[in-house]
Chain A
Amino acid sequence: QSALTQPASVSGSPGQSITISCTGTSSDVGIYNLVSWYQQHPGKAPKLIIYEGSQRPSGVSNRFSGSKSGNTASLTISGLQTEDEADYYCCSYASSATSVVFGGGTKLTV
């Protein structure tokens, strides 16, 4: 059981927008502005796409955006492209004994 809750799967058509939620608690997502999101294609290492809740690293498409409300963070991908098909993981720092927690991952099908 993962500490952060994500939907197991989402799907969308090319050009559409989708949102992936990431629900935590007041001990992780709710208290820190340190949520990050990672994209992982099959057989590849994860890639950072959002950090500090809504910041995009250099080189990441502006079709990816992040936000947070209370204990829930969200990743929105607009203008879906076939290459966006991948697994997506959220991550947050936590005040518990485990200092970092991941979501269980969401499989995006385009």
Chain B
Amino acid sequence: QVQLMQSGAEVKKPGASVKVSCKASGYTFTSHGISWVRQAPGQGLEWMGYISPYTGYTYAQKFQGRVTMTTDTSTNTAYMELRSLRYDDTAIYYCARDFSAFDPWGQGTLVTVSS
């Protein structure tokens, strides 16, 4: 079945960077892009951006200059790197296959920003 498996939880200091991975299986990786969505504790969902192996990327304006999304087609893995981390970047980060809707979702990666 289609699955997205994300890397484990991270704890980072303010100003640091974090890179989260999302490994896809069960479908042709290059046929769909991947979107990244985050959810702060007790809050709603926030779209961060989209990456496709062939059509490129689109980032939400809020994250432009601080986020980089990439893919590795040899391992069917997508990556999201967020730089200059702030306390309010503490959230669960999800990847999701994007085909005009998000399905399925990865299990989520908790990123905690703490000094």
Of B11-19, B54-62, B69-77, B80-88, the one contacting chain A is B54-62
Contact with B along A43-70 (1 / 0, CB 8 A): 0011110011000010000000000000
Which single residue of chain B is at the shortest CB-CB distance from A97? B61
In the complex, which residues 10-47 of chain B have their Cβ closer than 8 Å to any Cβ of chain A? 35, 37, 44-47
Cβ B102 vs Cβ A38 within 8 A:
yes
Cβ A51 vs Cβ B101 within 8 A:
yes
User: Measured between C-beta atoms, what is the minimum distance from A17 to chain B in Å?
Assistant: 23
For residue B105, which residues in chain A have a CB less than 8 angstroms away from its CB?
45-47
B89 within 8 A of A: no
Provide the bound-state CA to CA distance between A48 and B97, in Å: 11
For residue B100, which residues in chain A have a CB less than 8 angstroms away from its CB?
34, 36, 51-52, 93
How many residues of chain B get a CB closer than 8 Å to chain A's CBs?
22
Q: Which of A2, A38, A100 has the most CB of B within 10 A?
A: A100
Of A19-27, A71-79, A101-109, the one contacting chain B is A101-109
B7 within 8 A of A: no
For residue B44, which residues in chain A have a CB less than 8 angstroms away from its CB?
2, 89, 102-105
Cβ A45 vs Cβ B106 within 8 A:
yes
Provide the bound-state CA to CA distance between A52 and B103, in Å: 13
Provide the bound-state CA to CA distance between A104 and B105, in Å: 19
Cβ B94 vs Cβ A100 within 8 A:
no
Cβ B45 vs Cβ A46 within 8 A:
yes
B68 within 8 A of A: no
A91 within 8 A of B: yes
Provide the bound-state CA to CA distance between A46 and B62, in Å: 22
Cβ B45 vs Cβ A48 within 8 A:
no
Provide the bound-state CA to CA distance between A103 and B37, in Å: 13
Provide the bound-state CA to CA distance between A46 and B38, in Å: 11
What 8 pairs across the A-B complex have the smallest Cβ distances? A51-B101, A48-B103, A36-B101, A100-B47, A45-B105, A97-B61, A105-B44, A102-B45
Chain A residues close to B by CB (< 8 Å): 2, 34, 36, 38, 45-48, 51-52, 57, 89, 91, 93, 97-105
Chain B residues close to A by CB (< 8 Å): 35, 37, 44-47, 50, 58, 60-62, 94, 96, 100-108
